[in-house]
Amino acid sequence: MRNLVYYKTNDFKKSTHPDSKCPRCGNFIWGNELEVDHYGISFREIAGTFVDTYVNDLGKTIDEFYNSMRYVLDDVLNVYYIRNENELNHLESKFREKKDSRIDDVLFWIQFHNASMTLKVMHKKCHQMKSKETQK
């Protein structure tokens, strides 16, 4: 599921001003120390809420979603994740032409994720520490 929204965090990373401060330790973050963090609500929580919504509100099974996702990703030739918005638009029009609705499942997830997330930058080390704490 991360593969599909990779472009979003990547765009955010590229658009971030280099002298941002880390919300965890308060120090400046330099180039290669920078990592993107899901602020407030974690990626895992967003994915969990999505699965509940997909199953309960749409009345579909989670296998259906995974099948659509796998199919759509395999269709992106030699690419296992979506790198930018153009790639996503290209993928969408390709599936629309074929009238293949499996793209809708994937777009539903991408939109759900993008609407739920708040991204912030953090130090790589601070981010690792944060991830360790939230896994407990």
Both structure tokens of 34: 């920078």
- Give me the least distance between CB of 33 and Zn ion, in Å please: 8
- Report the residue number, 28 or 66, with the smaller CB distance to Zn ion: 28
- Give me the least distance between CB of 37 and Zn ion, in Å please: 10
Distance CA 111, CA 27 (A): 32
Site string for Zn ion, 76-115 (x = CB under 5 A): ----------------------------------------
Q: How many chain residues interact with Zn ion (CB under 5 A)?
A: 5
Site string for Zn ion, 113-132 (x = CB under 5 A): ----------x--x------
Running DSSP on this structure, what letter comes out for residue 21?
Answer: B
| Helical residues (DSSP H) of the chain, grouped into ranges | 2-15, 43-58, 62-75, 85-97, 102-116, 124-135
Distance CA 24, CA 117 (A): 18
Place of tokens 């918005």: 85
Widest Cα–Cα separation across the chain: 50
- Give me the least distance between CB of 30 and Zn ion, in Å please: 11
Return the residues of window 8-67 that contact Zn ion according to CB under 5 A.
22, 24-25
- Give me the least distance between CB of 29 and Zn ion, in Å please: 7
- Give me the least distance between CB of 8 and Zn ion, in Å please: 22
Alpha-carbon distance values, 18 to 27, 85, 89, 93 (Å): 12, 23, 29, 35
| Contact footprint for Zn ion (CB under 5 A) | 22, 24-25, 123, 126
